[in-house]
Amino acid sequence: MAASREPQRNMYLANPAPRYRQIEEFLLEKIRSGAYPAHHQIPPEEQLARDFGVSRMTANKAIRDLVQGGWLIRQPGLGTFVTDRKAESSLHEVLNIAAEVRGRGNAYSNDVLRREAIEADDEVALRLGVRLGTRVFHTILVHRENDVPIQLEERFVNPKWVPGYLDTDFSRHTPNEVLVAACPISDVEHVVEAVLADAQTAAWLGITTATPCLLMTRRTWSDEHLVSYARLTHPGDRYKLRSSMRTPR
């Protein structure tokens, strides 16, 4: 067993990063690749110290930093385990999903599936506050975190308030960024419900139609102008929504 770990030890000895950082990088690579999934028990400090040729204190610092970063959780008497780091959004704020993903230390990307001008049907006209048949902008994007789909965004925008919306390079700017830049948000409405994905949604999100999902319907205003109506679908096993409230004292 010791001999099989020697190449790994030599590789990390050649790494100029501090030794505790090498252990952090090793553990993060295992977590992000899925080799250490949620609730998986990581090797104990003693084993990591032996494998990397460092003191137990150094291994402890690496683990402590990852605990503080929300990647690991210690369970006294049992060991240290990978946390369930589902992507999450606040219900009280309209945040840029790219910034959320990068804020967690992960890579953001998206796929643009639709980019078009359409005539508003009954539902879209009602939700967007326009007449039936009004020309509106329509986009569908899949947002990814470390290449894993975490949100399907279908959005309808009133061209009157954001005329250049469809010209956006969505690989550089998310729809949220474009809308906030053009029309600062003053009011937002969120409605959340549990749904099962239809076949097309499941295919876009890389899930089965039996996977529970969270559907957030969002409308945003800039002053008195109703600017956007969006349907945001999240796989329930990859995403969570957070709400916090301060009670009066």
3-class SS letters over the chain: CHHHHHHHHHHHHCCCCCHHHHHHHHHHHHHHHCCCCCCCECCCHHHHHHHHCCCHHHHHHHHHHHHHCCCEEEECCCEEEECCCCEEEECCCCCCHHHHHHHCCCCEEEEEEEEEEEECCHHHHHHHCCCCCCEEEEEEEEEEECCEEEEEEEEEECCCCCCCHHHCCCCCCCHHHHHHHHCCCCEEEEEEEEEECCHHHHHHHCCCCCCEEEEEEEEEEECCEEEEEEEEEEECCCEEEECCCCCCC
**Res 239: pLDDT:** 62
Residue 241 confidence (pLDDT): 59
25-31 mean pLDDT? 90
Residue 9, domain CATH = 1.10.10.10
Domain edge (last residue) among 82, 113, 139: 82
Residues 176 and 190 in one domain: yes
Is pLDDT at 143 greater than 70 in this prediction? yes
Average pLDDT across the chain, whole number: 85
- Chosen domain end from 82, 102, 137: 82
Is it the case that residue 249 has pLDDT exceeding 90?
no
pLDDT of residue 2: 38
**Can you give the CATH number for the domain in which 231 is found?**
3.40.1410.10
Which of 67, 82, 97 finishes a domain? 82
Domain assignment present for residue 177? The answer is yes
Number of domains composing the chain: 2
Name the pTM for this structure. 0.64
pLDDT per position as a tens digit, 173-229: 999 999 999 998 889 998 999 999 999 999 999 999 998 999 999 999 999 999 999
Same domain, 109 and 220: yes
Domain extent, residue 198, equals 87-242
